[in-house]
Amino acid sequence: MFEMPKVSTSKTPYVFLALGAALFLFGSYWGLFVAPPAADMREVQRIMYVHVPTAWNWMLAVLFSFGCAVAFLFNNDSKWDARLEGGLEVGTLFAFLLCCQGAIWAKPTWGVWWDWDPRLTSTAVLLFAFLGILALRNFVEDPVKRAIWSAVATIIAAVDLPIVYMSVKWWNSLHQEQSTPQTVASPFHLPLRTNAFAVLFLMIGFIMLRSRVAAYRLRRELAAPPVRIGEEAGELV
């Protein structure tokens, strides 16, 4: 049965957000000002201190969304739908950020805003796929149908991600060499890892809060159980 989800009021997401923000400030300061520049002396390489953590966490967000979708289809518990909504929105946001970061890196490096790098191109395709699922959620009023359909669409989109990546990689490899911000040697690992955890904590906090909002909305959309439910109204022989 699709029941009203419980909404937690714990402070945990705020703890995550605070921790994440603090780590992010620390990691970014280190990456921007303290760590030595990359071997080819280009400052724009420093974007990897944000880009790589965002990329790792984006993939986690997609995996999380896929997990919520499968969990929902198995046990019909509305809390998975609330979490899926959080995962989808945060995943969409991160995909968008990745594309922006990629463009910011590409323009000074290659002279073009977009260079069809397989990883970023796959991210862009998934960005549109998730936007489509969010649009679907917007247009379906019945909460149960909305949950089932978004779960189905999320599973289909997530399964597609590796296929899209492979096909774009082949498609691109016939034309030009790979061109991504390179991850590099050890002096750079600490700020990178710090920011990776920073973004992870921020992401967890955001997803938790967004899921709460989704759960509140579900509670508003689903009517409370009727009074006197199950009362017998007479039995026929």
Cβ closest to another protein, residue 63 vs residue 73? 73
Minimum distance between the CB of residue 116 and another protein, rounded to whole angstroms?
Answer: 11
Residue 163 to residue 134: CA distance in whole angstroms: 22
Q: Is 175 in the site for another protein (CB under 8 A)?
A: no
Cβ closest to another protein, residue 36 vs residue 234? 234
Cβ pair 101, 47 in contact under 8 A: yes
By CB under 8 A, the residues from 117 to 136 that bind another protein are: 125-126, 128-129, 131-133, 135-136
Alpha helix stretches (DSSP H) within 111-179: 118-139, 143-173
> Total binding residues for another protein by CB under 8 A?
51
Q: Is 43 in the site for another protein (CB under 8 A)?
A: no
Q: Is 100 in the site for another protein (CB under 8 A)?
A: no
Q: Is 73 in the site for another protein (CB under 8 A)?
A: yes
Nearest to 106 by CA among 46, 180, 29: 180
Q: Which stretch binds another protein (CB under 8 A): 10-18, 53-61, 141-149, 204-212?
A: 141-149
Q: Which stretch binds another protein (CB under 8 A): 7-15, 144-152, 186-194, 206-214?
A: 144-152
| Burial of 52 (C-beta count, 10 Å sphere; 0-12/13-18/19+) | buried
Cβ pair 24, 196 in contact under 8 A: no
Q: Is 1 in the site for another protein (CB under 8 A)?
A: yes
Nearest to 35 by CA among 164, 185, 214: 185
Q: Is 61 in the site for another protein (CB under 8 A)?
A: no
Q: Is 177 in the site for another protein (CB under 8 A)?
A: no
What's the Cα-to-Cα distance from 115 to each of 45, 102, 104, 106, rounded to whole Å? 16, 9, 11, 7
Binding site for another protein (CB under 8 A): 1-2, 73, 125-126, 128-129, 131-133, 135-136, 139-143, 145, 148-149, 151-153, 155-157, 159-160, 163-164, 166-168, 170-171, 174, 221-223, 225-226, 228-237
